[in-house]
Amino acid sequence: MLAQPGQQGGNNARLQIQGERQSGQDVRTQNALAVSAIANIVKTSLGPVGLDKMLVDDVGEVTVTNDGATILKLLEVEHPAAKILVELAELQDAEVGDGTTSVVILAAELLKRANELVKNQIHPTNIISGYRLAMREACKFIDAHMAIKTETLGKETLINCAKTAMSSKIVGSDDDFFAQLVVDAMLSVKTISELNGNVLYPVQSINVLKAHGKSARESCLLNGYALNLARAAQGMPRRVQQAKIACLDMNLMKARMMMGVQVLVSDPKELEKIREREFDITSERIKMILAAGANVILTTKGIDDTALKYFVEAGAIACRRVPKDDLKRIAKSTGATVIVSMADMEGNETFDPSALGYAEEVVEERVADDNMVMVKGSKLARATTMLLRGANDYMLDEMDRAIHDSLCVVKRVLESGKVVAGGGAVEAALSVFLENFATTLGSREQLAIGEFANSALVLPKTLAVNAAKDATELIAALRAFHYKAQTSPDCKHMAQFGLDLVEGKVRNNVEAGVLEPSMSKVKMIQFATEAAITILRIDDLIRLQPSQDDQE
């Protein structure tokens, strides 16, 4: 029990709290420490020479990964401020797909420097308004001076962006091959929105399948949406042209009585009739579906073995236990409706032919060591399947994460049409720009913006340290280039200079093909600033103790 003195009705009564309270500087320092600890875990995995983490959970499940969002998701974080960073990485993953490690490192650095300013008697509100101003100016600067329109760069840009995204991942050694694969997959699912006519590239239309064996370079693109399962019976045809697809989320097993329903039978002969009727219900349903014209039936539940003969006789392909996500995607791309029940408003069972989807063909193919059912030539949206090969599960899972990040990056570049130079170029340019901008202000925000400028340098510094290079020297050289680019008009091209981490020198990263979507950088700065501000606002931590009743 902790008592805090409080004013109550003029006399000095004591405030009773079941728990403990920390306030002021203690809480800020504690939060900054917790956030730094989380950032330090992912820090070494940043960049093309970043290292991987092996995470083992409580049941001994092993994950080997380099992806910031995955690492943080698997850590069971206790501290409330540190949890904000985990959510931050997930947000960046959902919005952009890449840059999850950078956003966490930047947020932690911003918070650490803000905490130092508070110790020097600057009010958190001043720091927050300074950070907000710096964030707005930084985003404007990236759009105006750093972003390069992709129309001027061609298809090579997409491949370079995909390579940059996968440079730090397990597939980085074969980046030429995988970048080409990713770009081809993304371009093949181009769709035009019916609402506003915008061109969209849905990542969901690309199904990633993983199969053991062979080398990573034998991964390939399959035309169509592949289901990792075979036909339900061998007597069914392997190929159906002009497929009409029924997507069912219901059982085609023998109909059973509902739980709790009792039927009293006086004559044993009636039992057989009940059994027959139970089976007839299922066969009537199947006949209804086939009568509507369906020749491919996909269901998430089971199909009775005795019921399979109807499909075989009708020359239709049926697949059971289709994963729900796959069923939804196939329904979306073929224009089918997922049927949960065949009951209509009157209580009778009907099957509406308009619920069927259409594809040019559905075919069972042998891919790797398994049979797969491929849906090709869907009516609405194109779908592509990427088959990844690799030595073991850990490698395949990490390849899947790397490919997903690259797909998201290519999607962002295609949709936004703007890229920026990678390798710390944007951060160094922002640092120089914000330092100069800070000196034009006469208010206390100047100090906060100065710290924001220094925080931006944490990313190129970390990149250099991870590459075992002299960070101090490289950053000084990089800043000199960017200072020139912003002060003398004939050195404008120097704004594209970033770090070359293999050689340990500064070079033009646009020419070297190290590119990232500008949206990734803008979102990273916005999210990191917001997260730092959220944690900086906290000045009181009241941790309640569980009451006696809860403990009992």
3-state secondary structure 162-203: HHHHHCCCHHHHHHHHHHHHHHHHHHHCCEECCCCCCEECCH
Partners of 240 in beta bridges: 362
Q: Which of 101, 150, 299, 385 is catalytic?
A: 101
| Distance (Å, whole) CA 167 – CA 356 | 43
Nearest Cα residue to 387 out of 178, 121, 175, 112 = 178
Question: Catalytic annotation on 101?
Answer: yes
Spatial distance between the Cα atoms of 204 and 325, rounded to a whole number of angstroms: 10
Structure token digits, residue 546 = 């569980």
What are the two backbone dihedrals, phi and then psi, of residue 455, each rounded to the nearest 5 degrees?
-65, -35
Q: By the 8 A CB rule, do 207 and 83 touch? A: no
Is 405 in the active site?
A: yes
Residue 506's alpha-carbon distances to 40, 145, 146, 209, in angstroms, are: 26, 19, 17, 39
* Active-site position among 63, 65, 67, 93: 67
- Asked about 26 being catalytic, the answer comes back as no
| Residue 349: strand pairing partners | 343
Catalytic residue check, 100: yes
| Catalytic member of 334, 405, 462, 529 | 405
- Whole-angstrom distance, CA of residue 101 vs CA of residue 47: 9
- β-pair partners for 62: 56
Phi, psi of 366 (to 5 degrees): -95, 110
CA neighbor of 258 nearest in space, from 281, 289, 284: 281
- What CA–CA distance (Å, rounded) separates 458 from 428? 9
* Residue 189 to residue 402: CA distance in whole angstroms: 19
User: Which of 63, 65, 70, 100 is an active site residue?
Assistant: 100
Query: Catalytic site residues?
Result: 67, 100-101, 405
